[in-house]
């Protein structure tokens, strides 16, 4: 059975010893009442919920999956009770607006809670994260009446949220969607069309589901400039806080998927459904991206959680499994064999998973800190850096999370291919993170195109300039300075050549994102190793840092070389040759 224990010691080390977030919160009025003691209590309770309530039904939820019958979706046994406990504890509104019954906790704390929930049961937490994302969109762009109507119900989990973008013929290219919204005399709209891949579009855990639907008005401009956003509830609000008549939105089927089988992914049909515009006409894509950017970071945390869950299973198995002998002599002379931990390649895999996961956790916290500063302290540079880091967080965390899941499965050998051990489920569940909320290739294109080239690399340079290598132990400084130099060299090449070679940014985008990601992880490992104490925990950090710098940071050498090329090697093969 999959087992999960929240990594509280590591989370608390990062929050309160390395980044000292409690000092940062004290200087921000909106967060000043969040004490270290309160945050520790929140982490402990979230860890209990994750480990004792969500994790035990992870494997059984995968086995049972969701069931569809005549438009009614039934979630796996135990999911509703676990969802009720998650919702009843206020976890869906943890970072929500206090004016509408949210708890107003820092995003950086929310990131760590999300990692725990994703690790414990990604299928179950998907229902929660879509609700939290819908709240952010409504809070940012909705009218006062819409906020009053929907936010308290969503924060409480009594109602849940869904994001309805994709259509059968239109994936990422939302400009060609066909769903239509026709104005009605009472100021509402009538929505007609079909959407696919709608996570949490229909289920049995909340009394109402609030869909945020992209559609086009009859006179809308062509392309993405003609998209509007609408609130389309499953049941229309009755005006007194309850639900009224059923709306014209229904699930046509659910998808049969590789992983996250306890999460209902629906085909949604709209038949003259009543919708209410959120934001301005033809500005729906900008409104939806408020939710999308939240979901992109959240999906990155899903990848991080997958890595942690995978590591825990593989490390436990490696400690307990006896197989072979150490090349330096028996380490378990009274037993029939030594543990898997005597084998260097098993250690290589485990250390790769661990160092990627623990650096990813530090990166997630750092990203959350930028979002808190942007939101609560009106810090414009933090806002720019947060936007820069979002596609990296989504893509790099999920790529490394899937890599971690596969490596952990390999530690199990043949048992990793067998369902009862759970390793193959982690691989299947982790795979979706690289695909949805914009594939990782799209994230890489967003990073290099919109976030780097658009401002000539100024925000990326500001990020690097903020990392003072003089604050970390001397042994890490030369490698860090060289790695930062590789980013600057690659950036200079792309800036210099992209006008003459306009396909170059797209051709090297994924390598560029990975170059930045591996380098950022090195910076965080140097910081962690420098800040850690002399106890067993601290010694472990320094050993892991040594592994990362010796075995994983050198990947940036090849990435820089690949980026400093042309697009010809990618674009030269004729179409008919594929």
What pLDDT is recorded for position 289?
A: 80
pLDDT in tens, 67-85: 999 999 999 999 999 999 9
Q: For residue 174, what pLDDT band results from cuts at 50, 70 and 90?
A: confident
Q: Is pLDDT of 285 > 90?
A: no
Structural domain boundaries, residue 44: 8-284
What pLDDT is recorded for position 239?
A: 86
Positive/negative CA dihedral, 298, 391, 484, 514 = positive
The catalytic residue positions are 437
pLDDT in tens, 91-101: 999 999 999 99
Q: Is pLDDT of 118 > 80?
A: yes
The mean of the pLDDT values for the chain is 96
Instruction: Tell me, yes or no, whether 427 and 465 share the same domain.
Output: no
Percent of the chain's residues with pLDDT above 90? 95
Instruction: Tell me, yes or no, whether 277 and 299 share the same domain.
Output: no
Write b or e for each residue in 95-124: b if 16 or more Cβ atoms lie within 10 A of its Cβ, otherwise e.
Answer: bbbeebebbbbbbbbbbbbbbbbbbbbbbb
Instruction: Tell me, yes or no, whether 401 and 495 share the same domain.
Output: no
Instruction: Tell me, yes or no, whether 155 and 191 share the same domain.
Output: yes
Q: What is the CATH number of the domain that holds 52?
A: 2.40.110.20
Instruction: Tell me, yes or no, whether 362 and 480 share the same domain.
Output: no
pLDDT in tens, 32-46: 999 999 999 999 999
Instruction: Tell me, yes or no, whether 320 and 429 share the same domain.
Output: yes
What pLDDT is recorded for position 262?
A: 98
What pLDDT is recorded for position 331?
A: 94
What pLDDT is recorded for position 291?
A: 77
Q: Is pLDDT of 134 > 90?
A: yes
Residue 270 β-bridge partners = 193, 249
Instruction: Tell me, yes or no, whether 262 and 313 share the same domain.
Output: no
Rama region for 439: left / alpha / beta (φ>0; ψ in -120 to 50; rest): beta
What pLDDT is recorded for position 235?
A: 98
Write b or e for each residue in 133-142: b if 16 or more Cβ atoms lie within 10 A of its Cβ, otherwise e.
Answer: bbbbbbbebb
Q: Is pLDDT of 249 > 90?
A: yes
What pLDDT is recorded for position 170?
A: 75
Contact residues for 239 (Cβ-Cβ < 8 A; gap 6+): none
Instruction: Tell me, yes or no, whether 325 and 259 share the same domain.
Output: no
Contact status, residue 360 vs residue 397, Cβ threshold 8 Å: yes
What pLDDT is recorded for position 292?
A: 78
pLDDT in tens, 9-32: 999 999 999 999 999 999 999 999
Q: What's the domain count of the chain? A: 3
Q: For residue 175, what pLDDT band results from cuts at 50, 70 and 90?
A: confident
Instruction: Tell me, yes or no, whether 279 and 304 share the same domain.
Output: no
In a domain, 2, yes or no: no
């Amino acid at each position: 059975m999959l087992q999960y224990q929240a990594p509280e010691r590591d989370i608390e080390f990062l929050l309160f010893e390395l980044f000292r977030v409690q000092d940062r919160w004290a200087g921000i009025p909106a967060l000043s009442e969040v004490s270290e003691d309160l945050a520790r209590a929140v982490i402990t309770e979230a860890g209990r919920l994750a480990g004792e309530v969500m994790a035990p039904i992870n494997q059984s939820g995968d086995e049972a999956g969701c069931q569809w019958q005549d438009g009614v979706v039934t979630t796996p046994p135990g999911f509703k009770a676990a969802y009720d406990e998650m919702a009843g504890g206020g976890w869906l509104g943890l970072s929500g607006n206090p004016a509408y019954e949210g708890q107003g906790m820092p995003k950086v704390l929310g990131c760590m809670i999300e990692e725990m929930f994703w690790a414990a049961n990604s299928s179950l937490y998907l229902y929660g994260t879509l609700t939290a994302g819908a709240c952010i969109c409504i809070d940012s762009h909705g009218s006062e009446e819409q906020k009053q109507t929907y936010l308290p119900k969503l924060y409480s989990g009594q109602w849940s949220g869904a994001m309805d973008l994709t259509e059968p013929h239109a994936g990422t290219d939302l400009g060609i969607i066909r769903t239509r919204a026709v104005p009605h005399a009472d100021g509402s709209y009538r929505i007609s069309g079909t959407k696919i891949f709608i996570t949490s579009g229909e289920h049995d855990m909340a009394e109402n589901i609030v869909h945020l639907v992209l559609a086009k008005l009859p006179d809308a401009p062509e392309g993405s400039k003609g998209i509007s956003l609408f609130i389309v509830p499953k049941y229309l609000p009755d005006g007194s806080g309850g639900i009224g008549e059923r709306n014209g939105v229904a699930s046509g089927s659910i998808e049969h998927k590789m992983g996250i089988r306890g999460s209902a992914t629906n085909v949604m049909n709209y038949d003259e459904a009543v919708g209410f515009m959120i934001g301005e006409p033809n500005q729906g894509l900008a409104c939806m991206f408020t939710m999308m950017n939240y979901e992109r970071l959240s999906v990155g945390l899903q990848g991080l959680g997958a890595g942690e869950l995978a590591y825990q299973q593989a490390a436990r198995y490696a400690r307990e499994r006896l197989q072979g002998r150490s090349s330096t002599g028996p380490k378990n002379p009274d037993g029939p064999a030594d543990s898997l931990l005597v084998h260097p390649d098993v250690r290589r895999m485990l250390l790769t998973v661990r160092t990627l996961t623990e650096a990813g956790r530090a990166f997630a916290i750092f990203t959350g800190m930028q979002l808190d500063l942007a939101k609560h302290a009106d810090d414009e540079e933090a806002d720019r850096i947060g936007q820069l880091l979002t596609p990296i967080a989504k893509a790099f965390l999920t790529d490394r999370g899937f890599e971690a899941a596969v490596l952990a499965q390999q530690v199990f050998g043949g048992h990793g291919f067998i369902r009862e051990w759970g390793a193959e489920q982690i691989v299947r569940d982790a795979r979706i993170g690289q695909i949805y909320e914009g594939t990782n290739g799209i994230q890489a294109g967003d990073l290099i195109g919109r976030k780097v080239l658009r401002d000539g690399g100024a925000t990326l340079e500001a990020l690097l300039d903020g990392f003072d290598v003089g604050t970390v132990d001397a042994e890490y400084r030369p490698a860090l300075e060289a790695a930062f130099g590789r980013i600057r060299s690659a950036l200079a090449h792309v800036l210099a050549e992209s006008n003459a070679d306009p396909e170059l940014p797209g051709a090297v985008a994924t390598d560029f994102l990975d170059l930045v990601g591996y380098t950022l992880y090195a910076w965080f490992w140097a910081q962690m190793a420098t800040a850690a104490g002399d106890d067993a925990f601290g010694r472990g950090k320094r050993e892991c840092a040594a592994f990362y710098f010796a075995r994983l940071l050198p990947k940036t050498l090849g990435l820089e070389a690949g980026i400093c090329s042309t697009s010809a090697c990618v674009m030269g093969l004729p179409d008919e040759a594929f």
